[in-house]
Amino acid sequence: EQVVTLIDVNGLRMKDTMRAKDLLSMQIKIDSHNYPETLGALYIVNAPYWFSGMFSAIKAFLPAETQKKVHILGGSYKAAVDELVAPEHLLADFGGKSSGRLE
What is the rounded distance in angstroms from the CA atom of residue 58 to the CA atom of residue 29? 10
Residue-level pLDDT at 102? 59
Domain 3-85 has CATH 3.40.525.10: yes
Question: Residue 95 region, left (φ>0) first, then alpha (ψ -120 to 50), else beta?
Answer: left
**Nearest Cα residue to 92 out of 2, 9, 6, 11:** 6
In this predicted structure, the answer to whether residue 12 has a pLDDT above a threshold of 70 is yes
Residue-level pLDDT at 42? 85
**For the chain, domain boundaries:** 3-85
**4 or 48: which carries more pLDDT confidence?**
48
pLDDT bucket at 8, cuts 50 / 70 / 90: confident
What are the helix (H) ranges across the chain? 17-34, 51-59, 64-69, 78-84
Q: Over the stretch 13-35, which tens digit does the pLDDT of each residue have?
A: 877 777 767 777 777 777 777 77
Is the separation of the CB atoms in 18 and 57 below 8 Å? Answer: no
